[in-house]
A and B are shown apart, each in its own frame.
Chain A
Amino acid sequence: MCATTFQARDAWSAEEAAEAIRALGSEEHHRLRLIAKTYAFGAMTDDEILHEALLRVLDGRRVWPKDVKLASFLAGVMKSVATDERRTWWAQKVSSDGDECAANDQEATAPNKAVGDANGDPVLDGAHLARRLEEVEKLFCDDETASMMVAFRAEGYSAREIQKELDLDDRDYQALQKRVSRGIRAKFPEGWQS
């Protein structure tokens, strides 16, 4: 019988991570800001996401594997911070609404609201998120390939599957992804909250 052993990935200490973060240049600061804005569709601002991600790394809760680039690692932490926060927000919302059925009824009849409701609380229900995705798809109404790219990515198609569906080689796929991503960022420079 083959015994399986689990070995922790080689990782930097919290002090080493702190040193690397301190050494980041302005372009990296800008990159991290843009990533925070991209994941900030929810209950936190980009500043809050960035702060919480840095905190989790600096206090040692999140460990930076040596085989991952710092920006990629921090992007992953920011994504998980934003997702955790949305889930917490939803849990509290459902709890304060009484039960999930009430929340679902509200969702079905919710009018088109902006990001915050009358109390300034974020609106994160499925209907709102679906409208946000529609807005993104509409950006490319004159560019069917780009529009399909957004739709396929949203549905969870892999790069290979999208290439096959849209008949794109590697280079064309990369170029399309760049065009779509930059188009979305140009339309929402302050992130998807705006």
Chain B
Amino acid sequence: MSNRDRNEEEKLIRVADMIVDELLDMTPEELRNEATEQGVDLVDESERFGTVHEKAQIAANKSRLRAAQESVAADREKDKQTDRVIDIARARKVIARLADADNDVGREVMLAARKANQPLDRLPEEDVIALLEDLKELGLWSDEGSD
């Protein structure tokens, strides 16, 4: 948009503002009389407005529904993250208990901790989750009533 475009646009907007000020000052009676003089049927005018209004209302409803859905999805994501924190705490307890067992599972857990080069209670969250998933896949642990 060039300076000239903007300048000329602003001039027209100022003249439009003057017209709109005058329209806003008109009484309903003046509007009715002017419409009659110009052959404008106010019933038709209302019907046309009603059509535009209805479409806008439908679009607004859709837009608000979308916003509500996004809000619910965001809340669910937040809840999921909270659940994950709880799961991590639970998972660490499970890992510690499994490691204490003198069996294949315990040895597997200790091996994983050595690979990660971390004491068992300092294993990163991802490693804890991955370890439990591996054990589950191998059929060495089940999360149903196991803790």
Which A residues fall within an 8 A CB radius of B? Answer: 14, 18, 21-22, 24-35, 38-39, 41, 47, 50-52, 54-55, 58-60, 69, 71-72, 75, 79, 83, 86-87, 90-91, 94, 100, 103-104, 107, 124-127, 129-130, 132-133, 136, 150, 153-156, 177-178, 180-182, 184-185, 189, 192
Distance (Å) between the CB of A151 and the closest chain B CB?
Answer: 9
The DSSP consensus for interface residues of chain B is: helix
B38-A132 in contact (CB<8A):
no
A154-B1 in contact (CB<8A):
no
Distance (Å) between the CB of B26 and the closest chain A CB?
Answer: 7
B60-A181 in contact (CB<8A):
no
A51-B56 in contact (CB<8A):
yes
B20-A59 in contact (CB<8A):
no
CA of A130 to CA of B117, assembled, Å: 76
Distance (Å) between the CB of A94 and the closest chain B CB?
Answer: 7
A29-B49, A126-B4 in contact; A58/B57 too (CB < 8 A)?
Answer: yes
Which of A31, A75, A192 lies at the interface centre, i.e. has the most chain B CB atoms within 10 A of its CB?
Answer: A31
CA of A90 to CA of B11, assembled, Å: 17
Which B residues fall within an 8 A CB radius of A? Answer: 1-2, 4-26, 28, 31-32, 35, 38, 40, 42-43, 45-46, 48-49, 52-53, 55-57, 59-60, 63-64
CA of A18 to CA of B57, assembled, Å: 8
Closest to A101 in B: B2
Contacting residues, chain A, for B14 (C-beta < 8 A): 153-156
Contacting residues, chain B, for A24 (C-beta < 8 A): 49
Contacting residues, chain A, for B6 (C-beta < 8 A): 126
B38-A189 in contact (CB<8A):
yes
B49-A50 in contact (CB<8A):
yes
New A-B contacts (7) at CB < 8 Å, excluding given A21-B53, A58-B56, A129-B5: A28-B28, A29-B46, A32-B49, A33-B45, A54-B52, A79-B13, A107-B4
